[in-house]
């Protein structure tokens, strides 16, 4: 048990302590992490930090006290709706992350179906590549989850999902893209099915929302997934992923702003008076909203297009280089910034390859099915793309040579 210090410590002591504690952390600025961070450059980092500090103590629950936060939040939602196919009647909610955005979407689907269709034993149907946060939300909301195997093309199979639906299905889910493989589900066909069955259609674009439109502008084939697709009810998009904002910033967007009411909590069941919230949070950090607004305004369309170009260039270098290493192959297809590579040589132990990469300081994301290495790229990876390919080649040589978990002179460093 640790007690609060009897005497306060100086700011210098506190910062020195915190800095010392980070010594063992991975250095994300060097681009050696495939997960957990999204970074472009120090200029954007400073913009984020200064904007956050400008609203570091304001509570976004109290927008009557801080009307500036309402205007900032409205502008963030408006810019996202403009990017992601929202029409004149669309709306959105600023949330703490993709998990909350998805929770609110499933809550709204359940509540709407209960009120309008009398459903008391709701279920949702989704491909088994969909994020597990849907299962977490469903567990909390009392919703049955029906996961359906994906096809050989690593995408949802519309006919199979239709077969799992029944009169109690409140929502269908598709990803744009999914996290395990980086592939887009057939959103247009799923939305058509949802509309025909009277179900809520949610698109999980937490990864792709702020990247896919720009990758499409670069000439890549990105299928339609936005709110403008007929039948799409809601879409989640993380600003703290490829929107390049700091953590704590996501959006739940709805094609019809009236559908926000289905995830609203409102009560007068205490002495204080009415309480209402559209999120699962009460107190909400104003700094997160301000920093997201600042990132979007600082980057602009040109900046986001630059980020997309860097990511796709990094992917091209990595996939070509890794695919040329004997015994390795890129899992196909992958549509955006996520891809998986694996061993095609049965004698090559991917676990040993991963351990060798880790010893050089590359934080490895392991893929369970198929056994492989998972990468989620962001702009900084363009600077290290070729370095990564060369590291993979060394790791394969080490694994084949039986060197186990360590290779080279960089053992244990990064």
Mean pLDDT lowest for which of 85-99, 212-226, 238-252, 395-409?
395-409
Burial of 26 (0-12, 13-18, 19+ CB in 10 A): middle
Among candidates 61, 66, 58, which has minimal Cα distance to 276? 61
**DSSP reduced 3-state for 66:** coil
Residue 99, pLDDT above cutoff 50: yes
Burial of 223 (0-12, 13-18, 19+ CB in 10 A): middle
Phi, psi of 303 (to 5 degrees): -65, -40
- pLDDT tens for 240-260 read 999 999 999 999 999 999 999
Q: How many residues does the chain have?
A: 414
pLDDT confidence of residue 39:
87
Residue 211, pLDDT above cutoff 60: yes
- pLDDT tens for 180-197 read 999 999 999 999 999 999
Mean pLDDT lowest for which of 186-190, 289-293, 360-364?
360-364
Among candidates 93, 72, 71, which has minimal Cα distance to 81? 93
Q: Quick one: angle between helices 350-359 and 381-400, nearest 10?
A: 120
Q: Are 238 and 259 in contact (CB under 8 A)?
A: no
Q: Mean per-residue pLDDT for 119-141?
A: 98
Please give the angle made by the CA atoms of 276, 277 and 281, to the nearest 5 degrees: 135
Cis peptide before 407 (omega within 30 of 0): no
Banded pLDDT at 403 (limits 50, 70, 90): low
Q: Kindly give, in sequence order, each residue whose CB lies less than 8 Å from that of residue 379, ignoring residues fewer than 6 positions away.
A: 38, 39, 40, 306, 307, 310, 311, 314
* Counts for the chain of helices (H) and strands (E), in that order: 11, 13
Q: How many CB atoms lie within 10 A of CB 110?
A: 24
Say which residue, 40 or 392, is predicted with more confidence: 392
- pLDDT tens for 328-339 read 999 999 999 999
- pLDDT tens for 28-80 read 888 888 888 888 899 999 999 999 999 999 888 888 888 999 999 999 999 99
Segments making up each domain of the chain, as ranges:
47-298, 301-400
Residue 408, pLDDT above cutoff 50: no
DSSP symbol at 263: G
Average pLDDT, the chain: 94
pLDDT confidence of residue 414:
18
- Dihedral sign of CA atoms 406, 410, 411, 414 in order: negative
Q: How many CB atoms lie within 10 A of CB 283?
A: 9
Radius of gyration of the chain from its Cα atoms, rounded to whole angstroms: 23
CATH level 3 topology of 301-400: 3.90.1150
For residues 181-207, one letter each, b for 16 or more C-beta atoms within 10 angstroms of the residue's C-beta and e for the rest, the string is bbbbbbbbbbbbbbeebebbbbbbbbb
Give the C-alpha separation, 40 to 87, whole Å.
31
What pTM was computed for the model? 0.94
Q: How many CB atoms lie within 10 A of CB 321?
A: 17
Same fold, 47-298 and 301-400: no
Give the C-alpha separation, 406 to 373, whole Å.
17
β pairing state of 200-204 and 234-238: parallel
The residue ranges of DSSP E strands in 296-367, in sequence order, are: 328-330, 338-343, 365-367
CATH architecture type of domain 47-298: 3-Layer(aba) Sandwich (3.40)
């Amino acid at each position: 048990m640790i007690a609060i210090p009897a005497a306060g410590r100086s700011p210098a002591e506190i910062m020195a302590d915190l800095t010392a504690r980070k010594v063992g952390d991975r250095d994300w600025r060097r681009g050696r992490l495939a997960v957990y961070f999204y970074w472009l450059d120090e200029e954007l980092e400073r913009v984020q930090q200064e904007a956050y500090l400008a609203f570091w103590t304001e509570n976004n629950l109290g927008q009557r006290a801080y009307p500036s936060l309402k205007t900032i939040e409205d502008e963030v939602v408006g810019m996202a709706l403009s990017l992601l196919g929202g029409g004149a009647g669309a709306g959105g909610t600023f949330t703490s992350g993709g998990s909350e955005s998805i929770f609110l979407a499933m809550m709204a689907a359940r509540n709407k179906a209960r009120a309008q269709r009398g459903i008391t034993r709701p279920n949702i149907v989704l491909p088994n590549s969909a994020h597990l946060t849907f299962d977490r939300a469903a567990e909390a909301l009392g919703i049955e989850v029906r996961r359906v195997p994906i096809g050989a093309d690593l995408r949802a199979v519309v006919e199979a999902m239709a077969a799992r639906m029944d009169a109690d299905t409140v929502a269908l889910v598709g990803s744009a893209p999914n996290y395990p493989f980086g592939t887009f589900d057939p959103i247009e066909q799923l939305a058509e099915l949802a509309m025909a069955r009277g179900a809520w259609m949610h698109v999980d674009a937490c990864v792709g929302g702020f990247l896919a439109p720009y990758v499409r502008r670069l000439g890549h084939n990105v299928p339609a997934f936005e709110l403008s697709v007929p039948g799409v009810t809601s879409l989640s998009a993380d600003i703290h992923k490829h929107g390049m904002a700091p953590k704590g910033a996501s959006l739940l967007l709805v094609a019809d702003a009236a559908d926000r009411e289905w995830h609203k909590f409102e009560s007068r069941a205490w002495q204080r008076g009415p309480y209402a919230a559209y999120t699962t949070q009460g107190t909400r950090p104003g700094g997160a909203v301000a920093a997201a607004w600042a990132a979007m305004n600082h980057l602009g369309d040109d900046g986001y297009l630059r980020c997309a170009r860097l990511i796709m260039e990094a992917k091209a270098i990595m996939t070509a280089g890794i695919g040329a290493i004997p015994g390795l192959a890129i899992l196909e297809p992958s549509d955006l910034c996520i891809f998986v590579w694996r061993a095609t040589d049965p004698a090559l132990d991917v676990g040993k390859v991963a351990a060798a990469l880790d010893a050089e300081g590359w934080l490895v994301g392991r893929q369970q099915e198929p056994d492989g290495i998972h990468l989620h790229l962001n702009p900084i990876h363009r600077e290290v793309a070729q370095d990564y390919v060369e590291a993979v080649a060394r790791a394969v040589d080490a694994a084949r040579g039986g060197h186990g978990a360590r290779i080279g002179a960089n053992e244990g460093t990064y």
